[in-house]
């Protein structure tokens, strides 16, 4: 709705502007006496308006005739009989409305603004005296701000052929010595910055409304943000000082359209918080704190007014945020109107008296006003402003950059998580595919087995049928039993077929599942081409690792075989060794048996045939293994004298050649274990 200017520039649009001609302009001070309100029916009236410029405060008894509204005067009270006469630029009695006040004291500020002068209007007075009623009004009675802006827009419309206007507005409040932007309620407390004689509010937003309606809407929004709390004197008491500012850039052109002059003027409209007695706050801690701050700032304002009125060199503007903000309006370059609002009720006796005294003193303040003409050296102000804006933009951009960096970091983390999640999904799909493939393989195997089985069964069945047929033809077997057999076979065959069908169905399901999983995988791969490619890389690597591991396994197996073989050889050798030992042992035993036999034969011969004693007749040849039948002297190796038994054939007696009895008589057996 509003074009935001984004400027924090406060009261000093004229920072580097040069004055054309300096004029001494006294503060215009008007007093407005509000009527006694419904709840003040029994109150005494402390003010009597004498003329358009004078009033009497605390009139004496003889002057205390009932006023036009039938109220008596406080002349006969303890604090009466003062008969103080005050004169001001204008006095508005209780019968005057906002339009009267506007027409007689404010309307002329429009001409001053368009002529190039800064203007300030502020409402001053105790709580419940009618400041807000005067400045803002209500739906039935528009306030001075509305009336002034409304006239200004009409004037702008009338003069747009010769003057072009650019209007910016801002609205702030000073509450408990903190400055808040009422048009950006979420903003923090704002800081005041001084640039020479001018005051800037850092971070204050300026808006560019396109119509009077927009201005009033913004004003309304700002008012809704303003701090208000009920007090004894006012149910809707404003507990802050509100400053509404309008900055106008005026560009005058001649009949040819050439720029004649440029002015940047400022109109400040201030609704001050009302002073009050601490006792009137019912001892509420927050209200007391507020009241103390309000009173402190109003006291600082009173001191500034006093210093300015007495022409002192030092004006204590820095004593409060309010006086710092009003520096331009009080004693500075501004045509200023002070509206002192007072209540005629004797309940506000002290406050009214003080207000009238300060207002009277303020009349002596003379501001130095000069036309604010935008000249080349004003460019410096513009540049300062631009610099200020650029700095703020840099700060904003830096903050945005930081925010973006954080967002990118967060996004990266999320993407990583996403990728991991996708990988997990892929793994799950792959597992599904694998199990589907395995199920398919099992089902295929089962189907093949069943088919084979069925074929085999069918063949056997056919065979049996044939056999039965044959038996039927030749044997006694009746038709009925053959039929039964056939029936049983058919049942078995049907069950086998059913099994086959079920297996085929399983196979189909497995196929479908595999297909679906493959499709899922394909889709996933399309969606996640990159992680898939990466995965393929991983799989390739895995394949390489697998072939490597196969190779290692082969090597291990080979080694294993080798060691098994070696073990077998060792076993064989051991067996061989054992069998050799056995043979030797058998040979020895055989040899002994032969010796015994020879002995026996020899005895028999000696007894029966009267043979010569072998010792006498035949010296037996010493036993040599050459005599054994297994000994073979190779014709080409006559020198070989080593006994090499023919291992598989055990040595037996029947293999020994017939020999003379004496030949064995003195034989000695070979040592056990020798070859």
CB of 65 to ligand ATP, least distance (A): 23
Is residue 126 marked as binding? yes
- Between CA 87 and CA 253 the distance in angstroms is 43
Task: Indicate the helix (H) or strand (E) that contains 47.
Answer: strand 47-49
Residues whose CB is less than 8 angstroms from the CB of residue 23 and which lie 6 or more positions away in sequence, other chains included? 368, 369, 370
Is residue 129 marked as binding? yes
CB of 124 to ligand ATP, least distance (A): 9
- Between CA 409 and CA 405 the distance in angstroms is 6
Q: Which of 276, 313, 305 is nearest to 293 (CA)?
A: 276
Nearer to ligand ATP, 127 or 662 (CB): 127
Nearer to ligand ATP, 288 or 471 (CB): 288
Side-chain-side CA neighbours of residue 49 (13 Å): 22
CB of 234 to ligand ATP, least distance (A): 4
CB of 364 to ligand ATP, least distance (A): 24
CB of 345 to ligand ATP, least distance (A): 10
Q: Give the C-alpha distances (Å, rounded to integers) separating 422 from 195, 260, 427, 430, 437.
A: 61, 71, 8, 12, 22
CB of 38 to ligand ATP, least distance (A): 9
Residue bearing tokens 């010569």 = 612
Is residue 70 marked as binding? no
Catalogue the long-range contacts made by 56-65 (C-beta closer than 8 Å, 24 or more residues apart). 56/83, 56/84, 56/85, 56/86, 57/82, 57/84, 57/85, 57/86, 57/352, 57/353, 57/356, 58/82, 58/83, 58/84, 58/349, 58/353, 59/83
Interface residues toward ligand ATP, by CB under 6 A: 34-35, 37, 125, 127-133, 231, 234, 236-238, 273-274, 341
Nearer to ligand ATP, 125 or 302 (CB): 125
In the chain, the N- to C-terminal Cα span, in Å, equals 124
Nearer to ligand ATP, 236 or 596 (CB): 236
For residue 315, give the 3-state DSSP assignment.
Answer: coil
Nearer to ligand ATP, 58 or 130 (CB): 130
Is residue 125 marked as binding? yes
Nearer to ligand ATP, 129 or 352 (CB): 129
Nearer to ligand ATP, 237 or 662 (CB): 237
DSSP 106: I
Which tokens hold the place of 594? Answer: 């032969």
CB of 342 to ligand ATP, least distance (A): 10
Nearer to ligand ATP, 130 or 302 (CB): 130
Is residue 132 marked as binding? yes
CB of 129 to ligand ATP, least distance (A): 4
Number of residues in the chain:
675
Residue 282 falls in which region: left (phi positive, over 0), alpha (psi -120 to 50) or beta: left
Nearer to ligand ATP, 37 or 434 (CB): 37
- Between CA 251 and CA 21 the distance in angstroms is 19
CB of 89 to ligand ATP, least distance (A): 18
Is residue 311 marked as binding? no
Residues whose CB is less than 8 angstroms from the CB of residue 203 and which lie 6 or more positions away in sequence, other chains included? 8, 181, 187, 188, 190, 191, 392
Sequence ranges of the binding site: 125-132
Sequence ranges of the binding site for ATP: 125-132
């Amino acid at each position: 709705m509003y074009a935001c200017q984004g400027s924090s520039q406060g009261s000093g649009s004229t920072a580097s502007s040069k004055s054309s001609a300096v004029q001494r302009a006294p503060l215009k001070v008007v007093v407005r006496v509000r009527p006694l309100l419904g709840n003040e029916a029994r109150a005494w009236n402390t003010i009597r308006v004498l003329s358009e410029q004078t009033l009497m405060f605390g009139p004496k008894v003889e002057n205390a005739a009932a006023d036009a509204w039938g109220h008596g005067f406080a002349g006969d009270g303890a604090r009466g009989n003062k008969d103080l006469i005050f004169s001001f630029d204008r006095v508005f009695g209780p019968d005057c409305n906002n339009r009267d006040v506007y027409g007689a004291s404010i309307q002329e500020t429009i001409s001053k603004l368009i002529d190039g002068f800064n203007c300030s209007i502020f409402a001053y007075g105790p709580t419940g005296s009618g400041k807000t009623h005067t400045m803002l009004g209500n739906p039935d009675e528009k306030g001075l701000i509305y009336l002034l802006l409304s006239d200004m827009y009409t004037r702008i419309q009338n003069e747009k052929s010769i003057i072009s206007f650019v209007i910016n507005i801002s609205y702030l409040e000073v509450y408990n010595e903190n400055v808040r932007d009422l048009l950006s309620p979420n903003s923090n407390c704002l800081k005041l910055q001084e640039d020479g004689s001018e005051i800037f509010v850092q971070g204050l937003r300026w808006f560019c409304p396109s119509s009077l309606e927009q201005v009033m809407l913004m004003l309304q929004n700002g008012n809704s943000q303003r701090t208000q709390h009920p007090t004894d004197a006012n149910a809707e008491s404003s507990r802050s000082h509100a400053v509404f500012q309008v900055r106008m850039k005026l560009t005058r052109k001649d009949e040819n359209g050439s720029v004649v002059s440029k002015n940047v003027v400022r109109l400040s409209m201030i609704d001050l918080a009302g002073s009050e007695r601490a006792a009137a706050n019912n001892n509420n801690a927050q209200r007391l704190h507020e009241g103390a701050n309000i009173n402190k700032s109003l006291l600082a304002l009173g001191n500034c007014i006093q210093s300015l009125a007495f022409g002192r060199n030092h004006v204590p503007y820095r004593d409060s945020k309010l006086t710092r903000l009003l520096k331009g309006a009080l004693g500075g370059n501004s045509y200023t109107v002070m509206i002192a609002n007072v209540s005629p009720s004797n309940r506000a006796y002290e406050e009214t008296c003080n207000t009238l005294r300060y207002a009277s003193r303020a009349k002596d303040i003379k501001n130095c006003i000069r036309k604010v003409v935008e000249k080349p050296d004003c460019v410096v102000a513009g540049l300062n402003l631009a610099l200020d804006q650029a700095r703020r933009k840099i700060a904003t951009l830096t903050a945005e950059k930081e925010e973006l960096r954080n967002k990118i970091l967060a996004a990266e983390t999320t993407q990583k998580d996403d990728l991991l999640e996708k990988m997990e999904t892929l793994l799950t799909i792959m597992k599904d595919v694998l199990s589907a493939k395995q199920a398919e393989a099992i089902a295929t195997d089962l189907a093949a087995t069943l088919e084979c089985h069925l074929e085999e069964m069918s063949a056997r069945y056919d065979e049996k049928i044939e056999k039965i047929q044959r038996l039927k033809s030749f044997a006694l077997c009746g038709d009925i039993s053959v039929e039964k057999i056939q029936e049983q076979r058919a049942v078995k065959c049907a069950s086998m077929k059913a099994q086959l069908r079920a297996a085929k169905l399983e196979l189909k399901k497995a196929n479908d599942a595999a297909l679906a999983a493959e499709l899922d995988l394909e889709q996933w791969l399309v969606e996640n081409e990159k992680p898939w490619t990466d995965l393929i890389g991983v799989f390739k690597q895995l394949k390489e690792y697998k072939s490597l591991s196969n190779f290692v396994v082969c090597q291990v197996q080979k080694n294993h075989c080798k060691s098994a073989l070696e073990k077998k050889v060792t076993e064989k050798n051991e067996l061989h060794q054992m069998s050799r030992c056995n043979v030797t042992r058998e040979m020895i035993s055989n040899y002994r048996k032969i010796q015994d036999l020879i002995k026996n034969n020899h005895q028999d011969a000696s007894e029966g045939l009267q043979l010569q004693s072998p010792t006498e007749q035949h010296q037996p040849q010493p036993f040599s293994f050459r005599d054994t039948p297994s000994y073979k002297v190779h014709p080409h190796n006559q020198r070989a004298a080593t006994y090499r038994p023919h291992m598989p054939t055990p040595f037996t007696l029947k293999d020994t050649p017939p020999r003379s009895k004496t030949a064995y008589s003195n034989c000695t057996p070979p040592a056990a274990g020798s070859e």
